[in-house]
Amino acid sequence: MTEKVRKDYYVKRKSLLMKEFSKFIESTRDILKRKFDDAKINEMHDQMKIEYEKLIPKIPYIGGNKNYRNAIIVGCISSLSIFRILEKEGFTLRDIGGFYYELSDINNIIRKNGMEKTGKDPALYPFELDYIAFTKKRFETSKQTNYPDDWVGDFVEGDGKTFEWGLNIYECGIQKVLKRLEGEKYVHIFCLADYSEANILGFGFSRTQTLGFGASMCDHRYVKNYKTPKGWPPDELPEFDKNFFP
């Protein structure tokens, strides 16, 4: 049974979301400095904030903070606000892809440092039994589609040799919302950021296909003692399709 969708959930949290977004876009400054001066960057940041404020009411409700994928949805809309302004400034789709991958590296380094300060090994977190059990439970119930904009997929048991565990994802929340907001051309850029996470945190991750590159599913696999390939430039990845970077 589909649960009640709270259409005002994000609107009521606009002040907090705008504050978090203002902090987030500051991490773009050093990248943008290669092309623009501070005055121009400040102007672009103001435009990004205006764009994000317009998009907040359009963030799909998938359970709010009770759903761990809520942060992914909010991050998607945050990034879409940035992409639209970059495109207005003449960035190509491939430029935006490289920009976002570098931005992902920056934020994953921050995340890694935070995990290490608490005594956690970032390279081991995908293989912790509690994390695997949590993810398995979430995806075993995903087909109940409590929220139509949520992810849907299957948990895949590993063989302990070629991979430890995986996910076959058939419906992606990012793809759904971007399609509705006429931003589906950016989906594969978000897909590639998975390689940034794995490389920076230091765990093994592999994939041969993604919804973002036109396949029927995403086949995520988490592999011990495996060197994850770099996700940018993406041209040599098995999932890559050059038609998605015109």
The order of strands in the sheet holding 165-171 is: 152-157, 165-171, 218-223, 204-206
Q: What is the pLDDT of residue 227?
A: 96
Q: List the alpha helices (DSSP H) in the chain.
A: 14-26, 29-32, 38-55, 70-88, 93-117, 129-140, 173-180, 187-201
Q: In terms of C-beta density within 10 A (0-12 exposed, 13-18 middle, 19 or more buried), how is residue 155 classed?
A: middle
The Cα–Cα gap between 232 and 195 comes to: 8
Q: What is the pLDDT of residue 104?
A: 98
Do residues 173 and 62 touch, judged by C-beta distance below 8 A?
Answer: yes
Q: What is the pLDDT of residue 1?
A: 41
Express each pLDDT in 4-50 by its tens digit: 668 899 999 999 999 999 999 999 999 999 999 999 999 999 999 99
CA distances 166 to 133, 163, 204, Å, are 12, 8, 11
Location of structure tokens 């060197």: 227
Read off the pTM: 0.95
**Low-confidence residues of the chain: pLDDT under 70:** 1-5
Location of structure tokens 């994928």: 69
Could you give the dihedral angle defined by the CA atoms of residues 85, 39, 102 and 123, in that order, rounded to the nearest 10 degrees? Answer: -110
